[in-house]
Amino acid sequence: MSHLLTALKVAGHSFAENYRSRFFALFLVFAGVLIYSSLLAGVMAVDEEARVITDFGLALMELITLAYALMASASAITREMETKTIYLVLSRPVSRPAYLAGRAAALYAVLASMLAVMALIHLSLLWVRGLAPAPMYLKAVAFIWCKLAVITSAALFISLFSTSAVSTVVIAAILWTLGHFTAEARFLASRSTGAAAVLLSTASLVIPDLQLFNARDLASSVPAPAGPAFLAAYLLLWLVVPYLFSLLLFRKKEF
Amino acid sequence: MTGREDAVLTLSEVHKSYRAPGLFGTAVIPALRGVSFELVRGEVAGLLGLNGAGKTTIMKLATGLLFPGSGSISVFGMPPSDMRAKKRVGYLPELPYFYPSSTAAESLRYYAGLSGLGGAELDRRVSEVIEKVGLSPHARKKASEFSKGMMQRLGIAQAVVHDPDLLILDEPVSGLDPLAIHDIRVLISELNGSGKTVFLSSHSISELEKLSGRVFIMVQGALVRTVERREWESSSGGLEGIFVNTVKGGGPGGA
């Protein structure tokens, strides 16, 4: 059986497990908060209602899926190790690279489906209120997924050496926050000297630049800071490199 | 080790230690001390020892979940991590745990798929083993609703679903009621009758006595004695007497 097929089987099962466990509760929270906040927005933003609802909704979608991504990726492998379900998988003809790839792919798919359903709820709400979505709406949702996929890969890697799921979530959340200031780190590095310059340059290399996936920033920047090919390559790099580092740790891990 | 042609599992001078990080450095805890033995096709062999004697360590080494510190292990002439070897092994860990939201049938389908089964063969094998382990009335129940006995039956089912040539069963009757113990004993005998090699560990001397043709007695990580069926059958104290004398003999080298 090919590694790809095995990875797909692991991904399919892992996706179903995610879907059954925590999926719908988060949707309900999101839908409730969104509907409530849109009513508030309608009152507070008289002329800017569409923009406020769109921005507010996208920000909520990002935060809710981020919370889910961090929790799910922090526990995706460690929980299997704690409950020993991993014994029944890795004692079979399942290679460790295929297992890791399957678990990661399932998380990417879960996040994509969460975002898709949330976007549908959000767009339905805009439609009910008679408001048109912003032209960059779908691009913004896709970019949120890109950011989440990057942080998920990083969190999966962190979870393999972290002492607990909580510490994985904290480290990944710090990485997420710093990832929105990578451009500033580069700018400061160019203005600094000595150890500070080295530190900032290193940080800007090892921390993903998540601002690259900010649709509104990209739309308002002339010329655009990065083209689609560069963004795709950057995304791929930040999915593959943490995966390879994870594999280094996971390859000889004992259970 | 002689490396017989019909050798199924061979351990040769296997040493294994665990590391326990502490405040003042890492303690090295020896788990196996130069263990060597060979299982041949079609036999039922048992591992007997006190808690911490190294029984589970041997089983995990044979399934590729642990790696030896030194020495060599081969399964069907291949390293335990070889996918071709894994395909021919069925493993029941001690106290197996299953994904709580998956039904018995779903879990078996997943594990059968990972072992390379597919299509009609997968459906047939899943139905067969569910019937064989007596879980037919509970096939659509979620694992979270299962009792310990049902979990153990499901554990056996996942170990045999892909029709492996070697069964590695860690405490297969641990904590079960007498009827479940009887059923599992009959199942193991049937599997052996169909040519499968069975390697099991147990605290229950009477179970090993009934099922095994040979028993390996482990004391503090060392294989101190191999007892053949005719020996305990001709001994007044049976296997229990031999075991007690061996363990009280003072551990590695003392028996």
pLDDT confidence of residue B250: 61
Whether A21 has its CB under 8 Å from any CB of chain B: the answer is yes
Please determine, for residue A218, whether its predicted confidence score (pLDDT) is greater than 80.
Answer: no
Arithmetic mean of pLDDT, A121-149: 90
Compare CB distances from B113 to A9, A84, A252 and report the shortest one's residue: A9
A69 to chain B nearest CA, in Å? 20
**Which domain range does residue A136 map to?**
3-250
Compare CB distances from B98 to A85, A93, A254 and report the shortest one's residue: A85
- What is the value of ipTM here, to two decimals? 0.89
Please determine, for residue B254, whether its predicted confidence score (pLDDT) is greater than 60.
Answer: no
* pLDDT tens, residue by residue, B38-96: 999 999 999 999 988 999 999 999 999 999 999 999 999 999 999 999 999 999 999 88
Percent of chain A with pLDDT over 90: 51
Phi, psi of B251 (to 5 degrees): 80, -160
Tell me whether residue A131 is in a domain: yes
Tell me whether residue A234 is in a domain: yes
Please determine, for residue B229, whether its predicted confidence score (pLDDT) is greater than 80.
Answer: yes
pLDDT confidence of residue A1: 55
Compare CB distances from B101 to A9, A10, A20 and report the shortest one's residue: A20
- The full set of domains in chain B, from first to last, is 1-88+168-255 (3.40.50.300), 97-164 (no CATH)
A122 to chain B nearest CA, in Å? 29
Closest residue in A to B164 (Cα–Cα): A92
CB contact under 8 A, A89 and B67: no
Q: What pTM was estimated for this model as a whole?
A: 0.89
Interface test with B, best of A91, A94, A96, A103 (most B CBs within 10 A): A91
Whether A2 has its CB under 8 Å from any CB of chain B: the answer is no
Arithmetic mean of pLDDT, A13-25: 81
Number of domains comprising chain A: 1
* pLDDT tens, residue by residue, A73-110: 999 999 999 999 999 999 999 999 999 999 999 999 99
Q: Which residue has better confidence, B19 or B215?
A: B215
Tell me whether residue A255 is in a domain: no
Tokens representing B126 are: 């899943």
pLDDT confidence of residue A215: 77
Please determine, for residue A189, whether its predicted confidence score (pLDDT) is greater than 90.
Answer: no
Q: Among residues A97, A108, A117, which one has the least CA distance to residue A30?
A: A117
What part of A 89-148 touches B (C-beta under 8 Å)?
89-95
